[in-house]
Structure formats: structure tokens, C-alpha cells
């Protein structure tokens, strides 16, 4: 677990503009520890079938706050409505646009970044490719390159259209990125992207034989993410 301690957390709600009308979604803002100056802000979206209170989302968001990055973990519209199956991609894109607008309003003047676990990260990439968001960079926590066992169904076409820097964190035992060469080729096709392998980790960054809580595994990702974010460009 990260030794860095995050500061206060605040429950928030913000509006997402959907075709059928606006809806409100829930989120939690985590601030750096008292006396620590924030240097960036980051949105953190959940994976398919989960919500913003998933331990992996909470652990990563809090660890980022502990390293000086204000974090907003939030529900995508379908999750807010109590559904496990994702709705139209356009709804998730709208959710991302609203989340980053809320972050920008909360901490004006700071660089705004986007990250997400699996589906949440993929939806951030689609939002960026479509121009719905323009983050300083994108961080994918287990990018779902293709359904497990179906490498012939890659989700890569839009990635090369993204101008912002991209960081892919993937476990070497993740069935969503097997074979590895397929993900490596996708990353190489991007304008500015880097791949960081987590040895032995699965899609949720659990490592066989190591008993760790999901929040702890996720918190350990914050270190390499912040190192990459701080790199001069």
C-alpha cells in the first residue's frame, strides 16, 4: 500500500447531458494531505459491471491524492442508474466530458488527466479520440484490448487518433491483452504512448500467489503513473 496519506474526501454530484435529458451522477473528490499543494487533477472511472466505490478504483484514487493529485472517482451514467451492463458508448463519453469539466471547475489552472480501469479507460480513450475531452494525458489501468480469447476483435482503431500522451498499464497475465505483441503494436501505433507491464498480474492487477486486497494492488499503480505524468514533455 502507498505510504502517502490522502487528505479530505468530498461526495459530489454533477450533471451529465444525455440525449434523453440531463442526469446526475455521483462521485468522490479526494484531496492531497493538508499542507500539501496539488500539482494536477485526475478523473478515475470504473470498469464494466462495477461502480466508483469498487476497491480498485478507491485504492488508486486515494493513492493518487496521496501523491499530490486531486482525484475524482465517479459513476458513469449506466452505473448510477443501477445497471451492471454498460449503456451506449455515447453516454460514457458524455460522462467523461462532464467529469473533466467538474474537475477543471474545482481546481482551475491545474493540468487535467483522465484514467480508468478497463472499460472506464477505454471510454476515456474514445472521448479523447472524438474530441469530447482534451486531457493532458490518459492512463489506462488494464486496457481491454479485446474480449478474452478473441484477439480477432481488437479495440484499437481510435487510439492512433489521440494527440494526448497515453500510458498503458497491463498485467502480463491479463487475458484481455494476450498475445502481448498485439498490445505492443497498438501502443506503437499511437502518437505518444508508453506501455508499462506489471509482471505476473491479471486484469485486476492481482498476482497469483500474492494475497493482497484489491485496493492495495491498485494503490501500487499510482507510483509509476505519477512518475510518468511528471516526465517533461
* Cα→Cα distances 3→62, 64, 124, 201, 220, Å: 11, 11, 28, 21, 10
Domains of the chain and any CATH numbers:
6-229 (3.40.50.1820)
The pair phi, psi for residue 170, each rounded to 5°, is -140, 145
Beta bridge partners of 192: none
| Cα 114 from Cα 144, distance rounded (Å) | 16
The model carries a pTM of 0.95
pLDDT of residue 211: 78
Task: Please give the Cα distance from 183 to 190 (Å, whole number).
Answer: 11
| pLDDT at residue 233, as a whole number | 82
Burial class (CB in 10 A: 0-12, 13-18, 19+), 211: exposed
Q: Going residue by residue through the chain (233 aa), what tens digit of pLDDT does each one get?
A: 344 678 999 999 999 999 999 999 999 999 998 888 999 999 999 999 999 999 999 999 999 999 999 999 999 999 999 999 999 999 999 999 999 999 999 999 999 999 999 999 999 999 999 999 999 999 999 999 999 999 999 999 999 999 999 999 999 999 999 999 999 999 999 999 999 999 999 999 998 877 788 899 999 999 999 999 999 88
- pLDDT given for residue 2 in this prediction: 41
Amino acid at each position: 500500500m502507498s505510504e502517502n496519506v490522502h487528505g479530505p474526501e468530498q461526495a459530489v454530484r454533477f450533471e451529465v447531458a444525455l440525449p434523453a435529458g440531463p442526469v446526475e451522477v455521483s462521485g468522490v473528490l479526494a484531496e492531497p494531505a493538508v499542507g500539501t499543494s496539488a500539482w494536477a487533477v485526475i478523473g478515475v472511472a470504473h470498469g464494466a459491471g462495477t461502480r466508483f466505490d469498487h476497491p480498485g478504483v478507491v485504492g488508486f484514487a486515494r493513492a493518487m491524492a496521496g501523491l499530490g493529485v486531486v482525484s475524482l472517482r465517479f459513476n458513469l451514467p449506466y452505473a448510477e442508474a443501477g445497471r451492471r451492463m454498460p449503456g451506449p458508448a455515447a453516454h460514457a463519453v458524455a460522462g467523461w466530458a462532464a467529469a473533466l469539466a467538474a474537475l477543471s471547475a474545482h481546481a482551475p489552472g491545474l493540468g487535467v488527466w483522465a484514467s480508468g480501469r478497463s472499460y472506464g479507460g477505454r471510454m476515456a480513450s474514445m472521448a479523447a479520440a472524438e474530441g469530447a475531452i482534451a486531457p493532458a494525458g490518459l492512463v489506462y489501468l488494464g486496457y481491454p484490448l479485446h474480449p478474452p480469447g478473441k484477439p480477432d476483435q481488437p479495440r484499437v482503431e481510435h487510439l492512433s487518433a489521440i494527440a494526448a500522451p497515453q500510458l498503458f498499464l497491463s498485467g502480463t497475465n491479463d487475458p484481455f491483452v494476450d498475445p502481448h505483441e498485439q498490445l505492443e503494436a497498438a501502443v506503437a501505433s499511437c502518437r505518444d504512448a508508453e506501455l508499462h507491464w506489471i509482471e505476473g498480474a491479471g486484469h485486476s492487477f492481482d498476482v497469483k500467489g500474492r494475497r493482497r486486497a484489491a485496493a492495495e494492488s491498485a494503490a501500487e499503480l499510482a507510483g509509476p503513473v505519477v512518475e510518468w505524468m511528471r516526465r517533461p514533455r
